C-alpha cells in the first residue's frame, strides 16, 4: 500500500516541482523586463499612430498653394543647393497639387529631407531624417537611442518577456471549467482577488497578441535579426533585403545608396537633355544632371504604385534608376527598375515575387506597425500595449502586497527537485531559439548554483534557502 502511494505521489511531486520552477522563472523574467515592457508598450503605442501624427507635425511646411509645378529636376537642384555636399537619394512623387515636394538628400550615411514648393522651387524646410519625431520614437523603441548596445538590450528584454508570457500562460491557465478569474475578473471578492484576476484575465486575453508583436519585432534586432540576415544571404540573393537590423545596418545601407556607382555611365545618362526643355535656363548644372527624372516621373506615375513613391538615381547599392512604393503596408510594395535612356520600366517586382522569408517578415512588420489592416490593426496594437501595461502594474501591486519582510519575495526554491524531462527540453529549446535568453538563463542558473550557494544572506533574500 505504501509502495503504491509512493508511486502515485511521484507524478504529483514532479508537477509541483515543475510549477515551482516555472513560477520562479516567471518571477525572474518579470523582475528584469517589466520596466522594458512599459517602455516598449508606450513607445510602440505612439508609433502606431505615425500615419495620423506625421501629417500633423509637418503641416506648417508640407502644404503649398496650388500652382503650375516646375520640372522635378529644378526642384531637386534647389534641394541640393540647400544641403551643401549632398547628393540626391530619392525624389518623392507629390500626392496632390497642394503638397510640398519631399526630396531626400544623402550626406554620407545620413538622410536629409527637404521640403520644396513645387511652383517656386523655394525650400520650405530642411530636416534630418533621424531628427523627425517618428524616427526618434522608432529608435527609442528599438534601440533606446543606444545603437547596437541598445538593440541587444531590447532583444534581451523581448526574449525574457516571451519567457514571461509563456510561463504566465502555464501558471494562470484554468485547471477547471470556471471562467471567472480567467476570462473575466471577480469584482466582489476583495482587493487581493481583484488584482490577481486583473493580472490573470489580462494575460489570458493579450498574451498571444503580445507574443506575436514580440516575435515580429525580433528581425529588427542586432543579434536575432543578424542571424536572419545570414540565413537570407545563404538562401536568396535575388533581391535586396528591405528591412534593417538596427541603426548601424541602416546607416551602411544609406551610405551605399548615397554613393554613386564606380562607372560614369549612369552619370552620363543623368545628363541627357530632355526634349522640349531649354537647359540653358537652369541656374546651374545640377538640374541638368538630374533632368532624366522629368522623363521618368510620367513612367512611374503610370504604374499606380501605392504612395509614398520614391524615384532614386543609380548608386553603389543599385546600378540603375529605380522607383519603389515605400508604403508601411509592406505587402502592397512594388519595386521598379527603370531604363533611363528609353524612359521605360525594365523590371517590376511585387511583394508576392519576393523570397518566402521576406514575405513572412513583411507581413509581421506591417502588423507590428499597425499598417496591414488599419484602423483595426492599430486598435489591436493599442489594446495589446494597454494590456501589457496592465500586466506590469498588477504584477508590481501583487508582489508588493505579498512580499515577506526583508526578502525579495521570489517563489521559494525546493530541495532536491524532480523536474519532468519534457519541461527541461522545452526550456533548452526556447534558449536555443532565443540565444540571448538561453545565455542569460544559463548565467542566472550558474550564479544561483555557484556564487549564491556560499552567501547565506543572499540565499535567504532570494528565497533559495526556503523549502
Query: Tens of pLDDT along 205-237?
Result: 999 999 999 999 999 998 898 888 888 888 776
CA 361 to chain centre: 11
Which segment of 132-136, 258-262, 343-347 scores lowest on mean pLDDT?
258-262
Q: Report the pLDDT value the prediction gives residue 266, as an integer from 0 to 100.
A: 43
pLDDT digits 0-9 by tens, 249-306: 888 888 888 887 754 444 444 444 433 333 334 445 556 678 899 999 999 999 999 9
Q: What is the pLDDT of residue 420?
A: 78
Task: Grade residue 9 by pLDDT with cuts at 50, 70 and 90.
Answer: low
pLDDT of residue 293: 94
Would the pLDDT of 5 be above 50? no
pLDDT computed for residue 287 by the predictor: 62
Q: What is the pLDDT of residue 398?
A: 92
The Cα–Cα gap between 276 and 279 comes to 9
321-325/334-339 β-pairing: antiparallel
Q: Would you state the pLDDT for residue 142?
A: 94
Q: What average pLDDT does range 411-422 have in this prediction?
A: 76
How large is the average pLDDT for residues 320-338?
96
Asked if pLDDT for residue 127 goes beyond 80, the answer is yes
pLDDT the model gives residue 411? 80
> Using 50, 70 and 90 to split pLDDT, how confident is the model at 122?
very high
Residue with cell 515551482: 20
Where along the chain do its domains lie?
Answer: 2-47+139-221+376-462, 62-131+239-366
Predicted pLDDT of residue 214 = 96
- CA 41-43-45 angle, to 5 degrees, is 65
Mean pLDDT of the chain: 87
pLDDT at residue 457 tops 90 = no
C-alpha cell at 399: 508582489
DSSP 306: P
Handedness of CA 311, 315, 316, 322 (dihedral sign): positive
With beta carbons less than 8 A apart as the criterion, state whether 409 and 403 touch: yes
Q: Report the percent of the chain where pLDDT is more than 90.
A: 57
Q: Does the structure show a pLDDT above 70 at 198?
A: yes
Amino acid at each position: 500500500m505504501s509502495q503504491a502511494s509512493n508511486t502515485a505521489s511521484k507524478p504529483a511531486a514532479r508537477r509541483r516541482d515543475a510549477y515551482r520552477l516555472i513560477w520562479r522563472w516567471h518571477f525572474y523574467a518579470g523582475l528584469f523586463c517589466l520596466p522594458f515592457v512599459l517602455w516598449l508598450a508606450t513607445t510602440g503605442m505612439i508609433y502606431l499612430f505615425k500615419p495620423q501624427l506625421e501629417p500633423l507635425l509637418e503641416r506648417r511646411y508640407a502644404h503649398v498653394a496650388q500652382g503650375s509645378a516646375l520640372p522635378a529636376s529644378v526642384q531637386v537642384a534647389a534641394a541640393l543647393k540647400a544641403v551643401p555636399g549632398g547628393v540626391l537619394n530619392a525624389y518623392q512623387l507629390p500626392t496632390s497639387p497642394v503638397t510640398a515636394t519631399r526630396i531626400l538628400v544623402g550626406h554620407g550615411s545620413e538622410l536629409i529631407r527637404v521640403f520644396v514648393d513645387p511652383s517656386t522651387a523655394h525650400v520650405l524646410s530642411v530636416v534630418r531624417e533621424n531628427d523627425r519625431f517618428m524616427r526618434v520614437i522608432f529608435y527609442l523603441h528599438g534601440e533606446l537611442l543606444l545603437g547596437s548596445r541598445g538593440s541587444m538590450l531590447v532583444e534581451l528584454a523581448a526574449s525574457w518577456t516571451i519567457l514571461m508570457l509563456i510561463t504566465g500562460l502555464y501558471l494562470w491557465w484554468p485547471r477547471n471549467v470556471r471562467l471567472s478569474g480567467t476570462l473575466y475578473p471577480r469584482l466582489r471578492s476583495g482587493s487581493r482577488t481583484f488584482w490577481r484576476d486583473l493580472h490573470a484575465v489580462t494575460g489570458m486575453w493579450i498574451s498571444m497578441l503580445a507574443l506575436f508583436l514580440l516575435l515580429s519585432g525580433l528581425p529588427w534586432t542586432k543579434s536575432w535579426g543578424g542571424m536572419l540576415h545570414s540565413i537570407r544571404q545563404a538562401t536568396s540573393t535575388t533581391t535586396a533585403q528591405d528591412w534593417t537590423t538596427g541603426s548601424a545596418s541602416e546607416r551602411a545601407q544609406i551610405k551605399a545608396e548615397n554613393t554613386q556607382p564606380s562607372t560614369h555611365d549612369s552619370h552620363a545618362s543623368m545628363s541627357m537633355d530632355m526634349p522640349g526643355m531649354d537647359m540653358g535656363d537652369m541656374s546651374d548644372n545640377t538640374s541638368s544632371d538630374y533632368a532624366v527624372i522629368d522623363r521618368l516621373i510620367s513612367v512611374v506615375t503610370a504604374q499606380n504604385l501605392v504612395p509614398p513613391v520614391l524615384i532614386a538615381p543609380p548608386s553603389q547599392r543599385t546600378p540603375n534608376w529605380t522607383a519603389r512604393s515605400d508604403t508601411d503596408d509592406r505587402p502592397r510594395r512594388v519595386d521598379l527598375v527603370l531604363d533611363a535612356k528609353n524612359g521605360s520600366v525594365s523590371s517590376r517586382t511585387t511583394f508576392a515575387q519576393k523570397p518566402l522569408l521576406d514575405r513572412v517578415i513583411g507581413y509581421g512588420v506591417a502588423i507590428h506597425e499597425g499598417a496591414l489592416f488599419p484602423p483595426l490593426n492599430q486598435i489591436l496594437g493599442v489594446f495589446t500595449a494597454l494590456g501589457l501595461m496592465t500586466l506590469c502594474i498588477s504584477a508590481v501591486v501583487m508582489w508588493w502586497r505579498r512580499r515577506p519582510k526583508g526578502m525579495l519575495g521570489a517563489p521559494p526554491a525546493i530541495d532536491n527537485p524532480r523536474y519532468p524531462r519534457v519541461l527541461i527540453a522545452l526550456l533548452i529549446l526556447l534558449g536555443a531559439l532565443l540565444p540571448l535568453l538561453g545565455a542569460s538563463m544559463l548565467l542566472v542558473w550558474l550564479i544561483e548554483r555557484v556564487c549564491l550557494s556560499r552567501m547565506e544572506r543572499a540565499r535567504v533574500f532570494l528565497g533559495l534557502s526556503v523549502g
